[in-house]
Structure formats: structure tokens, C-alpha cells
């Protein structure tokens, strides 16, 4: 069978199109946290509030949870297909998390960035380290912390999608994940989702204005000066 390509992994709800204003390269916003810190809710809120950012949809070998949709939450693939994508260089980064393989399809992200579209990533510290090596200039790294250990445990239990074993596993992994906080640019303590969303939006707005992302700046300033 021919090797699958990343062009199968289109980002949801986005078509290349025209944009207005100063040309800008998109940025990669990574949001990492231990499981249960509220990352999924915050990501959804950001995506609903801002139509210039798109979620990167990862490939994974983990089975779907109830309610998860292929192509929306993840692309659910076999270990063989995952290995083919990885070996063909079609993943921007990949890691093993809780015994399953996860990876970011490369092409969809690169297309979005060069079209001036921002991409949100829900990936762990291992993937973030890899993106730091390959795409440091495009990367904005945000780490979400729970306000307390009790809060994290409660959120993991009320989520109730995982077995007790998995909850225990995630609790013991949380401390390892949190130990990587120093590798991130921004830290949000997720006491209140509205407050966190406001802060995340502020980070995004400021990062969008970084001079190095404004690819059309030289000609914009030239036109400005020519007119003076």
C-alpha cells in the first residue's frame, strides 16, 4: 500500500484564502499542562473567540474515547500507519504518552503558517522540546498549571472518561509534566477559565505583533516613507 501523506490531515474549518492588513507569518501557540488542568476547555474557548487561530489535529494510536471524532479530536491511526508517517518525515514532532503514540502532521501546519494563520497545539513537553529545535522562531509556549493538587485530582475524577487505573497513572505523571514548566515562555494558573482566556488572548495579541512575524513590514514601511 502506498504510504499515506500528510495532505490527508487537513486542519478543520480552514481554507487558504485572502487576508487583510499587514502580511504576517502565523505563529505556533503551544498549550501544555498535566491532564486535568483544564487545557481542553481553554483551547475550545480560545478557538471559539478567535477566528484567526486553528487547532492542530494530531495523529494518535490511542483508541477514541466516547464522543471523540476522527479528524476533529484526533486522526486515529494504526501503529503501522503512524510509523509510516514518522519514517516519511511527515510529522513535525512525535512522542509516546501513556504508552500511545502521538504526532503532529507537518504539511497542514506549514500551509497554515505561511498563509498567516496561527495554529494551536495541545502537545506535551516532549513535543514542545522538538518544536523548539525545529521551529523556535514560530513558537509561543504556554504552560497551564492547576491551582492545587486537589483541584487537579477532582477534575480528573469528574471527567470520568478514564478508568481508575488511568486516573492514577495521570496523577503520578502530572508531577513529571509540571517539572518542565521552566521550558515555557508563559505560565497560566488556571483558577478561572474566563481569567485564563483573557490572559491567553493577551499573550496571543502581543505575540502577533512581534516584528519578525510581520513579513510585509519592509514594503509597508517603504510605501509609508515614499509617501512622506
Question: Which C-beta is closer to ligand 5GP: that of 31 or that of 197?
Answer: 31
CA-to-CA distance for 181 and 179, rounded, in angstroms?
6
Q: Taking Cα atoms as reference points, which of 205, 203, 74 lies closest to residue 141? A: 203
- Per CB under 6 A, does 90 bind ligand 5GP? no
102 lies in the binding site for ligand 5GP (CB under 6 A): yes
Distance CA 161, CA 154 (A): 13
Give least dist CB 211 to ligand 5GP, A: 29
Least separation in angstroms between residue 219's CB and ligand 5GP is: 36
With binding defined as CB under 6 A, does residue 58 bind ligand 5GP? yes
Residue nearer to ligand 5GP on the CB measure, 25 or 143: 143
Q: Does 126 bind ligand 5GP (CB under 6 A)?
A: yes
Residue pair 119/112 in contact (Cβ under 8 Å)? The answer is yes
Helices (H), 100-146: 106-114, 125-135
Residues 6+ apart with CB under 8 A from 13: 54
| Interface positions with ligand 5GP (CB under 6 A) | 35, 58, 62, 93, 95, 97, 102-104, 122-124, 126-127
Amino acid at each position: 500500500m502506498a504510504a499515506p501523506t500528510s495532505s490527508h490531515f487537513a486542519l478543520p474549518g480552514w481554507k487558504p484564502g485572502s487576508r487583510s492588513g499587514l502580511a504576517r507569518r502565523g505563529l505556533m501557540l503551544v498549550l501544555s499542562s498535566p491532564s486535568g488542568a483544564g487545557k481542553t476547555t481553554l483551547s475550545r474557548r480560545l478557538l471559539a473567540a478567535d477566528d484567526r487561530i486553528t487547532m492542530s489535529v494530531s495523529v494518535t494510536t490511542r483508541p477514541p474515547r466516547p464522543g471523540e471524532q476522527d479528524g476533529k479530536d484526533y486522526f486515529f491511526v494504526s501503529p503501522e500507519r503512524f510509523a509510516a508517517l514518522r519514517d516519511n518525515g511527515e510529522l513535525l514532532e512525535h512522542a509516546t504518552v501513556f504508552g500511545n503514540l502521538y504526532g503532529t502532521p507537518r504539511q497542514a501546519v506549514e500551509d497554515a503558517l505561511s498563509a498567516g494563520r496561527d495554529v494551536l497545539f495541545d502537545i506535551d513537553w516532549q513535543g514542545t522540546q522538538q518544536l523548539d529545535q525545529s521551529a523556535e522562531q514560530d513558537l509561543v509556549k504556554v504552560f497551564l498549571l492547576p491551582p492545587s493538587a486537589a483541584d487537579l485530582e477532582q477534575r480528573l475524577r469528574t471527567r470520568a472518561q478514564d478508568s481508575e487505573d488511568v486516573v492514577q497513572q495521570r496523577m503520578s505523571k502530572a508531577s513529571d509534566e509540571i517539572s518542565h514548566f521552566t521550558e515555557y515562555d508563559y505560565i497560566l494558573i488556571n483558577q478561572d477559565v474566563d481569567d485564563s482566556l483573557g490572559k491567553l488572548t493577551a499573550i496571543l495579541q502581543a505575540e502577533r505583533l512581534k516584528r519578525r512575524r510581520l513579513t510585509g513590514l519592509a514594503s509597508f514601511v517603504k510605501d509609508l516613507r515614499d509617501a512622506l
